[in-house]
A and B are shown apart, each in its own frame.
Chain A
Amino acid sequence: MVMFLIRRLGHGILVLWLITVAVFGLFFVAPSNVAQTLAGRQATPETIALIKQRLGLDQPVWKQYLDFIKNALHGNLGYDYYHQVPVTTIIGQALPITVSLALGAAVLWLLLGVFNGVISAVHPRSLADRGLTLFSLFFYSFPSFLLGLLLLYFLYFRLTLAGFTWFPAGGYTGITQGVGSWVQHLLLPWIALALLLAATYTRLTRGAMLDVLGEDYIRTARSKGIRERRVIVRHGLRSALTPVVIETVFSLPGLGQTAVVAINQQDLPVIIGIVLFASAAVVVANILVDIVYAVLDPRVRLH
């Protein structure tokens, strides 16, 4: 058991390190004229060079990477180019929003999942059951941004026109400013995200998903059950952790939207910081999932 833990952790750290190298490499290999943008159109080459120096962009790439890693291990992910705000602060501000979104959606998703499970267990092959399958196919095919926009159209615009101002057009208010308002702003995004996740989950449990396809052919039924759940969790984690599109459509300044804005501004430290943070979260979550399943099923440890 201890051996398994060590192996798994080591594996995770290795993957994490590789991600930092890959991300850093990708972003720095691409030419960026951040310094130019910051300096403005009229800037002289000297000004640009000065800005470059101040941002540390004139150093060789590998040195920038080492500095970055050194700082990161001390909890410092750099400063954004435009306002010199620490990236950790930016992440800290955006994270609660994303977490609120993810948690609420997860709760809704669990409810939907229980409902789905009950129906398929108690009334298999009934009309309701088949309906659920069709439903899940329908929402699985729905692009996230379209779903968000349509929810806004029908549940915000049309309802508001009809006099029911139940939902806002977007934006976020912190929970400290009133739970009611918090829920109100997050409800539509929760519904959107939960529907999408539930659709994927339903398809998976009905033997329809991609990643377990190969497994169908080789695993026994019991271990397949375990595998399916692991894959669901992994899938769920991957998509729930960076709901970029939902945040953009509903104007929620969470990690996803912050990253998109940073990308448009070519604010490298922020981009790298968020990407690394999200990747690390996925890796850690996967490790946790694996540990949980290793505790539950000893055979997994022998993998």
Chain B
Amino acid sequence: MNTLNTSLQAQSLRCDVLVAGAGPAGLSAALAAASGGARVLLLDDNPWTGGQIWRGGPYAELPAAAKALQHKVAASHNIEVLHAARVVGVVGQLADHTVLVETDSGALHVHWGRLVVCTGARERLLPFAGWTLPGVTGAGGLQALIKGGLPVRGQRVVIAGSGPLLFAVAASARKAGAKVLLVAEQASLARVSGFARKLPLWPSKLVQALQLRDSSYRTSTTVRAVQGVGKVQSVTVKQGESLRTVECDRVAVGYGLLPNTGLAEALGCAMVMRDGAPAIAVDALQATSQADIYAAGECTGVGGSERALAQGSIAGYAAIGALQQACALEKERAYWSAFAAHMHASFALDPGLKNLPMPETLVCRCEDVSHQALQAHGSWTEAKIHTRCGMGACLGKVCGSAAAFLYGWQMPEARLPLAVARVATLAASAPERLTCPDAPGSGGRPSK
């Protein structure tokens, strides 16, 4: 494995197969694509491979399967890994097969023969009173921060939202020394029991569930508000019909995961609504609607790491024309797809969550736009023009998804750049027109 991290100013890289995203899907796609000798470039915006579920860091403990896969990728002579690299745009026409990548040290044009999009998922974050207070994080967000060394020892933590991820977050927080006071699941006991009853169909999941069992787990429970001055001091939760307030230091809330589809949208790939969110449409070989572009893992619909591994391998093999190997994994993928369907049915979001925000609750955290200011509008585009919601640094990735859930608005497709990028990087996307590829002192978006 070679790791590129040195100075690269709008340099060009060429590869047979580009894999965008190095989570379980991306790692397995890279390995499958490399099996026939293709030159594979695997890039990720994080400092480590593994994505979110296998996120590295000083306090991350990775399962043996994750370590084995990462080791294989590292040992492969024809896989090059680029860390802390983000695809921010498409250069020229789609047929040019070139994306613009920003790294710590500059911009890169990456030319690819085949592309496998493995951009994963993000958390669905829904606004509630007090969610902008320091100490409130996503649920998976808290886990990621703990893996990066965030100190939580002795802190009182409330974890809430929906899905099996909450158990894993609680386990990570406890391991790091936090006192987990409550794990609040919005789904009902009947739904969660139904989920558990079918787990023997996936024995490894049953084992995981038993390991993660938590005595502070409560169903039909949601966070209504967080109180505090300058930081979290207490949280009010609604359990069934009764409200109670719990004093705590941290509140971590996540309502499941949402596919990251921005890159595929920018490349013109067709989307499909899956489990209430837009996902990249793929066929049996993980091919998207665009020639030479494949997609695998959570960006094609949230389904867990096991399915992502199978999809990634299929996509990687399909990308090099190894159809026999690709087809051999169909059964494995179907097995985990059934688990994903069961999970989504069990943890479907209660429409009552649309009533979570108070009129003054901020929905857009970048531009500080309230629920009542947004409610006055009939569409995302109209709201954007009048309130600046979605025009801040997150480019609508947080508030847009929240607005889609709260107001039922149709979201427009992703625009370029796909993420906040430095001026020098964007200049490098059009070298024939702009001659200042390295504007000194350009530090991204003007600060507020």
Whether A associates with B in a native complex is no
**B interface residues with partner A (beta carbon < 8 Å):** none
**A interface residues with partner B (beta carbon < 8 Å):** none
